[in-house]
Chains A and B, each alone.
Chain A
Amino acid sequence: MSKDLRSPFARAVGLGSAREGVAHWWAQRVTAIALLPLTVWFGAALISIAGSDHASIIHWLQSPLSTIGMVLLLIALFHHTALGLQVVIEDYIHSGIKLPLLIAMRLVCYALAVAGIVASLRITLGG
């Protein structure tokens, strides 16, 4: 008898029991790697503009590099946040609120990312 307990189909697909878990794990790592330079860049920028007035902060955020950095940061940050909070909810919430909470959390993350990107673009375009 074969030691492999998987069905022939599962063997052919070759994903083990992981299903969508691999994509989640992988996206968490990719966004983490993206956030290493992005958060350090943003943190360093915050230090250098600490205590500045509104005009100089606008001036910094209006440069193309800052805009690209901010939009990338917001996308990576809220993707990473959604993936992380998803695992926390799945691990600790076992009542009927689990699914609504997962959906709400994901939608809030999307909304925050879009709100942040719109604010960043408003600053850049001076609107």
Chain B
Amino acid sequence: MKEQATTPGSTAQRMRPLSPNIQIYRPQLTSVLSITNRITGVILSVFGIALVVWLTGVAAGAQTYSRLHLLIDSWFGQAVLFAFTFAFFLHLCGGIRHLLWDAGLGFELRTIYASGWTVLAASVALTAITWLASGFPGG
């Protein structure tokens, strides 16, 4: 990018480097989990829409509901629901980690890595438990 002349009016238009230059860092557990909490949050927003559609479908009556369940019970619906479950538990466990930090707890580097791996392991375990407990209703 060619630098423009630094007249007072043009400073706002110049492309400035963005901090913290994330592209030069090797991904680590801490940074990956940090952005994961954001990404899962955005994914769960879509799940919020799905929740309202489902509730409206239930309210609309048995016919609409059974049509809705054709989609939910399909392999595609079940795959999406499975991904949502994992995203939910990642965001839930990551959120609890954030709340503990907000309380001033767990800031030592060792603890941060331990809680990070705990978030990952707990999310995998809770997703597995949820789907085993529901008995894979779609088939």
Contacts and interface: CB of A to CB of B under 8 A. Distances in A.
A58 B61 CA distance: 9
A51 B41 CA distance: 27
Contact of A115 (B41, B56, B66, B98): B56
> In terms of DSSP, what is the predominant structure of the interface of chain A?
helix
B24 interface: no
Interface string B94-105: 011011001000
Contacts of B56: 115-116, 119
B135 A51 contact: yes
> In terms of DSSP, what is the predominant structure of the interface of chain B?
helix
Given A32-B99, A39-B92, A115-B52, A46 B62 contact: no
Interface residues of B, number: 29
B51 interface: yes
B32 interface: no
Interface in B75-108: 88, 92, 95-96, 98-99, 102
A55 B133 contact: no
A88 B41 contact: yes
Interface residues of A, number: 32
Given A32-B95, A47-B133, A61-B58, A119 B52 contact: yes
Interface string A34-71: 00100110010011001101110110010000000010
B1 interface: no
Contact of B130 (A33, A43, A119, A122): A43
Given A85-B42, A85-B45, A122 B88 contact: no
Contacts of B137: 50-51
A58 B58 contact: yes
A123 B59 contact: yes
8 contacts: A32-B99, A58-B58, A74-B52, A84-B45, A88-B38, A119-B59, A120-B55, A123-B59
